[in-house]
Amino acid sequence: MQYFVQQLINGLTLGSIYGLIAIGYTMVYGIIGMINFAHGDIFMVGAFTALIVFLILGALFYSVPVVVALLIMMIVAMLLTSLYNWTIEKVAYRPLRGSFRLAPLITAIGMSIALSNFVQVTQGPRNKPIPPMVSQVYTIDGISISLKQIIIVLVTAALLAVFWYLVNRTALGRAQRACEQDRKMAALLGIDVDRTISITFIMGAALAAVAGTLFLMYYGVVVFSDGFVPGVKAFTAAVLGGIGSLPGAVLGGLLIGFIESMWSAYFSIDYKDVAAFSILAIVLIFLPSGILGRPEVEKV
């Protein structure tokens, strides 16, 4: 039982990171119906930015409190990734918004490859490790819970609450929901559609940057290819939870994290990805719109 609970905690931690990335996918898709496949690489850029900020802080100051260092790393990573995502949306996606559906998809894949190779060229192809930032571990009845796991879960819960409030209780959220329903009608009613979409991309990038910083803190290493697999799994989480639903994105991330953790603990770790995608396929057979997703109603 202790081993089972330990794997639940590990899955909760991993799933929280997937959930943060998945929110960015589901927000962009919810408004413009597009999958931003460069989002996983934005997450990776956020992790590298946090790494660089950590190294700069270590070189400039003898000692910085961990809380302060983490906040600075997150803020700088959020600013830089937001600038990246805003530029990508404005330069690569906006001109293709009215074209056939495959054009933005192909462009998104191209931007993903471009970002990955840019980081590979500028930062090198090798793993970039950092010293442990948070090392405290608490043991309760033989179950180990590290402080960094607690931080990841609390940050994810807090950000989900904040973004749920923004989407459902603010003027910006009303504009986003109006653009989701009908962009042309929203524009006729005075909503700046381009601005709303750009802000949505910026919000998604900020969440990906936080996830990247937490990923770096948890694993202590990052490499240029780290955007692909977490990005695909986060997209899977968004689809599993219900694309377009913020709580669904986090729920899907938690489910993917639990599946991976449990499969790795009781079966072969080599097939944990197969297990996660198999569960996705089974769920979508019975719930095509995902667990919390709303079925699409076609207007006639």
pLDDT tens track for 265-292: 888 787 888 887 888 788 878 888 888 8
Residue-level pLDDT at 299? 52
Residue-level pLDDT at 34? 78
Averaged in consecutive runs of 10 residues, what is the pLDDT profile of the chain (300 residues)? 88 92 87 83 94 90 86 94 93 85 86 92 90 86 89 92 90 90 89 92 93 93 90 88 85 91 84 81 82 64
Residue-level pLDDT at 222? 93
Residue-level pLDDT at 295? 62
Residue-level pLDDT at 36? 86
**Cβ pair 155, 214 in contact under 8 A:** yes
Six-digit token pair at 155? 């940050």
Residue-level pLDDT at 71? 93
Residue-level pLDDT at 213? 94
Sign of the C-alpha dihedral computed for residues 32, 34, 35 and 36 taken in this order: negative
> 146 by DSSP, 3-state: which?
strand
Instruction: Kindly provide the b/e burial profile for residues 263-273, where b requires at least 16 CB atoms within 10 angstroms of the residue's own CB.
Output: bbbeeeeeebb
Residue-level pLDDT at 297? 54
